[in-house]
Structures are given as C-alpha cells and as structure tokens.
Amino acid sequence: MKTIISTFLIILIFIGELICQDTKEYRIPFLGERATSFEAQSTMGQINFPADYYGKWKILFSHPADFTPVCTSEILTLASMQEEFEKLKTPVIVISTDGINSHIEWVKSLESIDYNGLGMQKIKFPLVSDINLEISKKYGMIEAYSGRTNNIRGVFIIDPDDKIRAVNFYSVSTGRNFEEIMRTLVALQTSDRYSVLTPANWNPGDDVMIPSPSSIEEAEKLKAKKDPSLRQVTWYMWMKTL
C-alpha cells in the first residue's frame, strides 16, 4: 500500500513540475522591467519592438480576436483617439494571435464602420500577428490555465527607456476604458517631467503632489518658503499647482 501511495505522490509531483515549467513561459513582466523585445509581421510591415520606438513612450495593447464585437468597439475607439496619442508622442501597437491576413481584412472592415457616432476611422497604428503565441507568452497575455490560445485584453505602458511603467489586464468580456489609459499615460509623463506625484482621481490640469517631507521640521521649512504654488494638507501631504 505504501508503495502505491509513494508512486502516486511521485506522479503528482511530476505532473506539477510539468505544469510549472509550461506556465513559466506565461510570465507577466514586472513594473520597471525592460520591455521584452520581439520581431513580428504587422499590417504596417515588419516590427522590431521596442527598438523601432526607442526614445518614445509607447503602449502595447493585446486583444482576443479579430472580427469580434468588443474588440471592434475597442479598436475603433482607439483609432478615434489617435491624434491625442500623437500629441503625447506615444505610438500604439496592437497585437493578437490572429494571422496577418485576418488583420488586414479586419482593418478593411473596421474602416467601413461608424461606431458610436465616431465616424469612419482610418487605422494608422499597426496590428501585429502573433500566430505562434511567442510574444503573448513573453508578456503573459495568454491565460495559462484556461486552455485558450487567444489573448486577454492587456495594456502595457512603456517609457522612453523601454521600461514598463503600467500594466492592466481585463477579462475578455470587458471592454477597456481608453480615457483611463490616456489619463494614466499623461499622469506618468507629468510625474517624470516635473518630479511630482498624482493623487487619487487626478486628471490633467488638476493639482499634483510633491514627495513627502521626511520630517515635520522639513515640512516647516517648506512652509517658510511661502511658495504660492504649494498648499499644505498635513505635514506629510503637499499639493502643488503646475
């Protein structure tokens, strides 16, 4: 009996190790980690990421599948905001596990749709084909335990040094809020540019925060400066008007 139990446990351990080895391929990159590089075919030709976009902010989006309703609403909404992203000097790249021919045909279809009163949209950003799942696994965009091979709705905001600064994942049933993605991008750019922080529910144009003084004495020194752009909430919380 002991031999049977021992054999069973060994089999369970072996299966567990196999699962762990397989799911290691699906690791989501950490904040501050350098964006994993890849080369792939897109609707705008070969992409070498992130090298083609070095020195720029960029956003990598993943979506589950071409010719699906929620994804169509997302891509058309994203297309309607292209000029805003261009003003922020932030290219956007979209990726899924569909083939390049599917992407091309879907783009043609998208450009003939007036969704939600946005008008006809020209898709000016690349749709990357990851039919072999190589990129999606590197970015953890595949649900490792679901058995599915299509992407979740992922968002990676990457800075000019190719470091990942924000990651958001959404269920396949839930469309993304692109205004929130834009808000996050502007918040990150603002923090980097002015060495400030952004509080809860911050929107562009709102007051920001400065890093906390290290002591009450340091806070008193800030108060003594009588800087009209600064407003004390408590000794460790200071608002700043840009």
Q: Are residues 100 and 207 in the same domain?
A: no
Residue that is last in its domain, among 147, 176, 205: 176
Query: Are 51 and 105 within one domain?
Result: yes
pLDDT of amino acid 13: 45
Helix (H) or strand (E) holding 135: helix 134-138
Three-state secondary structure call for residue 129? strand
pLDDT of 80 strictly over 90: yes
Rounded Cα–Cα distance for residues 196 and 211 (Å):
7
Of 120, 147, 176, the domain-final residue: 176
Residue 37 located in a structural domain: yes
**In a domain? residue 17:** no
Domain identity same for 118 and 230:
no
Listing from the earlier edge strand, what are the strands of the sheet with 237-240?
Answer: 208-209, 237-240, 230-234
Q: What is the pLDDT of residue 8?
A: 46
pLDDT tops 50 at residue 122? yes
Same domain, 88 and 150: yes
pLDDT value at position 117?
95
The residues, ordered by sequence, that sit 6+ positions from 74 with a Cβ below 8 Å of its Cβ are 61, 63, 153, 175, 176, 178
Q: For residues 147 and 226, state if they share a domain.
A: no
Side-chain half-sphere of 29: how many Cα atoms within 13 Å? 24
In a domain, residue 79? The reply is yes
Asked, for residue 45, whether it belongs to a domain, the answer is yes
The last residue of one of the domains, among 119, 142, 176, is 176
| Whether residue 119 is found in the same domain as residue 224 | no
Instruction: Establish if 81 belongs to a structural domain.
Output: yes
pLDDT of residue 12: 42
In the predicted structure, residue 199 carries a pLDDT above the cut 50 = yes
pLDDT range class, residue 45, cuts 50, 70, 90: very high
The pLDDT-based confidence of 149 (bands split at 50, 70, 90) is confident
Q: How many domains does the chain have?
A: 2
Using the predicted structure, report yes or no on whether residue 22 has a pLDDT greater than 60. no
Range of the domain at 137: 26-176
60 with 148, same domain?
yes
Q: Please tell me the predicted confidence (pLDDT) of residue 25.
A: 66
Q: What is the DSSP letter of 89?
A: T
Same domain for 219 and 169: no
Among 187-191, 198-202, 224-228, the least confident range? 224-228
Whether residues 141 and 68 share a domain: the answer is yes
Is 71 in the active site?
yes
Whether residue 43 lies inside any domain: the answer is: yes
pLDDT at 27: 84
- Average pLDDT of the chain is 90
Give yes or no for a cis peptide into 91 (omega within 30° of 0). no
Banded pLDDT at 113 (limits 50, 70, 90): very high
**141 occurs within a structural domain:** yes
Cα separation of 80 and 83, whole Å? Answer: 8
What is residue 24's predicted lDDT score, i.e. its pLDDT?
56
Measured distance CA(192)–CA(48) in Å, rounded? 26
What does residue 138 show for φ and ψ, rounded to 5 degrees? -65, -30
Among 135, 124, 110, 120, CA closest to 27 = 135
At 124-147, the pLDDT tens digits run 999 999 999 999 999 999 876 666
Shared-domain flag, residues 122 and 240? no
Task: Give pLDDT, residue 87.
Answer: 97
Residue 232 has a CB neighbour count (10 Å cut-off) of 13
The domain spanning residue 227 has which CATH number? 3.30.1020.10
The dihedral through the CA atoms of 214, 219, 222, 227 has a sign that is: positive
Given the residues 71, 75, 164, 187, the one annotated as active site:
71
Contacts of 238 (CB under 8 A, 6+ apart): 209, 210, 212, 213, 219, 222, 230, 231, 232
Tell me if 1 is assigned to some domain.
no
Q: What is the pLDDT of residue 16?
A: 43
